[in-house]
């Protein structure tokens, strides 16, 4: 039996470091467009976000892109808040533990890549056509 004393799950800073590593690994053609996107880690999505997305179980949302996709931006837009990729630590850890077939780093990379695809203007259907992660 494994002695679990002293082992702790990754905190928000460690999840953020994994996410930043994923961004650093983006192909050059995407790096410039991704440069202005902020990464934030929270335990769970706020209730308002879950309500807006009609999600009842907060463990169902591992990440969220909050911003204006590049395909919808205009040079005449007024500067506003930065585009943000939200990572929800507890749902990510829960999914990682439940799956058991991927590393935590790979899961974080996947969530970041999925949300970054939204930043580049891809829909969930667009992403699903090329991303067979859940099969």
pLDDT for 17 equals: 93
pTM given for the model: 0.85
pLDDT for 9 equals: 87
Residue-wise pLDDT for 50-97, tens only, equals 999 999 999 999 999 998 887 877 666 666 778 999 999 999 999 999
DSSP state of 70: G
pLDDT for 1 equals: 39
Higher pLDDT pick, 8 / 127: 8
pLDDT for 117 equals: 87
CA 106 to chain centre: 12
The average pLDDT across 36-41 equals 93
Class of the CATH-defined domain 12-67+81-130:
alpha beta
pLDDT at 23 exceeding the cut of 70: yes
Domain ranges in the chain? 12-67+81-130
Q: Token match 């996410």: residue?
A: 19
Of 8-12, 29-33, 55-59, the range with the lowest mean pLDDT is: 29-33
The average pLDDT across 114-118 equals 87
Nearest to 15, CA basis, from 123, 87, 78: 87
pLDDT at 133 exceeding the cut of 60: no
Question: For the chain, what is the total number of helices (H) and then of strands (E)?
Answer: 6, 3
């Amino acid at each position: 039996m494994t002695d679990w004393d002293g082992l702790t799950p990754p905190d928000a800073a460690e999840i953020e470091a994994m996410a930043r590593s994923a961004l650093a690994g983006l192909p050059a053609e995407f790096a410039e467009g991704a440069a202005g996107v902020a990464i934030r880690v929270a335990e769970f999505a706020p209730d308002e976000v879950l309500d807006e997305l009609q999600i009842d179980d907060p463990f169902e949302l591992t990440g969220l892109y909050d911003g204006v996709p590049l395909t919808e931006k205009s040079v005449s837009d007024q500067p506003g808040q930065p585009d943000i990729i939200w990572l929800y630590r507890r749902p990510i850890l829960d999914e990682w533990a439940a799956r058991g077939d991927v590393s935590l780093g790979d899961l974080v990379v996947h969530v970041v890549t999925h949300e970054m695809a939204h930043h580049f203007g891809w829909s969930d259907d667009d992403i699903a056509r090329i991303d067979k992660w859940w099969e």
